[in-house]
Structures are given as structure tokens and as C-alpha cells.
Amino acid sequence: MAVEPPELIGTGKAVSREKPDVIVKTVELVKRVNPGIPVITGGAGIESYEDVKKALELGTQAF
């Protein structure tokens, strides 16, 4: 399952910086349904190591 708000796609803005709550809520909801489903963060807004680090800290398994 990938999480990335459509309004951020192509903007160069990372969801981990702009809307971290979207990541946290998505991870929580997916895990409630099926803890075996990996949640990843969409890569369109990933521009730095810090973006990746933050997305992983927020609960996603990859980017």
C-alpha cells in the first residue's frame, strides 16, 4: 500500500514533511485491517535523506 496525497504529487514537497499525519493515520488503518500489508511512502516528494528517515520514523517500511 502506498501513501502519498495526490495534491503533493509533482510538487517536490515530501509528505513526511508536509503532512506527516497522513502517513501515521494510513499506517494505523492498514495495520488494523491486515498487519501483513506493508505501507510505503510515495517517492515523488522524497528529496533528501531526511525525507526518507522521517517517513520510516512515521511507520512506513520503504519509500
pLDDT per position as a tens digit, 6-18: 998 888 888 999 9
pTM: 0.85
Decide if 8 is inside a domain. Answer: yes
Q: How far apart are CA 55 and CA 4, in angstroms?
A: 11
Decide if 19 is inside a domain. Answer: yes
Domain extent, residue 48, equals: 2-57
Give the phi and the psi of residue 11 in degrees, each rounded to 5: -95, -15
Decide if 62 is inside a domain. Answer: no
Predicted local confidence at residue 46, as pLDDT: 79
Predicted local confidence at residue 10, as pLDDT: 86
Decide if 13 is inside a domain. Answer: yes
Residues 1-59: tens digit of each pLDDT: 888 889 988 888 889 999 999 999 999 999 999 999 999 987 766 788 999 999 999 99
Number of domains the chain is built from:
1
Decide if 63 is inside a domain. Answer: no
